[in-house]
Amino acid sequence: MSESSLWWIIAGFFVSLELLSGSSYLLMLGLGAGAAAAAAMLGASQTVQLMLASGIGGGLVLIWHRQLLKRGALDTEGYNTTGLGDLDVGEEVSVLRWAPDGTAQVKYRDGEWMARHYGPTLPRSGQHRILAVETTCLVLEPI
């Protein structure tokens, strides 16, 4: 099996994991592996392939993470919640773990809800307060 085939398999693995988890970070790593596969197809050495995979994949992860931190706090003053969402604002939920992209699955009102972190800090597990409801996504702030 050629080196480029192995890199394409690794890229496919990262992309399939991203589809299962919803983490954009894995997609960035898949792009790095894709760049290494293209380099292998052009006849680059293994060192160059590894440097491309780690440099492009790791660099994209850092850029994406900085963008998430730059986003900062969401403006909840102008939030218009949909339907009966106003009833949910102020309620508390418990977050067991956060995904790397700042989202989580939480149990609320006898169902699974997608939640998004509010604020410039990294999300932590524990008790959170609902600030707004965006269709089926809860916007949470730590208590």
> What single string gives the DSSP state of each residue in the chain?
--HHHHHHHHHHHHHHHHHHH--HHHHHHHHHHHHHHHHHHTT--HHHHHHHHHHHHHHHHHHHHHHHHHH-S---TT----TTGGGTTT-EEEE----TTSEEEEEETTEEEEEEE-SSSPP-SEEEEEEEEETTEEEEEE-
94 in the same domain as 57: no
Q: Which residues contact 25 (CB under 8 A, 6 or more apart)?
A: 61, 64, 65, 100, 101
Domain C-terminal end among 71, 96, 117: 71
The pTM of this model reads 0.53
- Regarding whether 135 and 91 lie in a shared domain, the answer is yes
Q: What's the domain count of the chain?
A: 2
Arithmetic mean of pLDDT, 100-128: 83
- Name the average pLDDT for the chain: 84
Question: Quick one: what percent of the chain has pLDDT higher than 70?
Answer: 89
Least confident of 7-16, 27-36, 111-120: 111-120
Domain boundary among 71, 96, 130: 71
Q: Is residue 78 part of a domain?
A: no
Ranking 28-42, 46-60, 117-131 by mean pLDDT, the lowest is 117-131
**For range 39-67, the mean pLDDT:** 93
Q: Given 71, 94, 113, which residue is the final one in a domain?
A: 71
CA separation for the pair 12, 91 (Å, rounded)? 40
Spatial contact of 137 and 113, defined as CB atoms under 8 Å apart: yes
Q: Give a yes or no: residue 77 inside a domain.
A: no
- Tell me the CATH number at 138: 2.40.50.140
Say whether pLDDT at 26 is over 80. Answer: yes
Is the predicted pLDDT of residue 36 greater than 80, yes or no? yes
What residue numbers bound the domain in which 136 lies?
Answer: 85-142
57 and 111 fall within a common domain: no
pLDDT of residue 86: 64
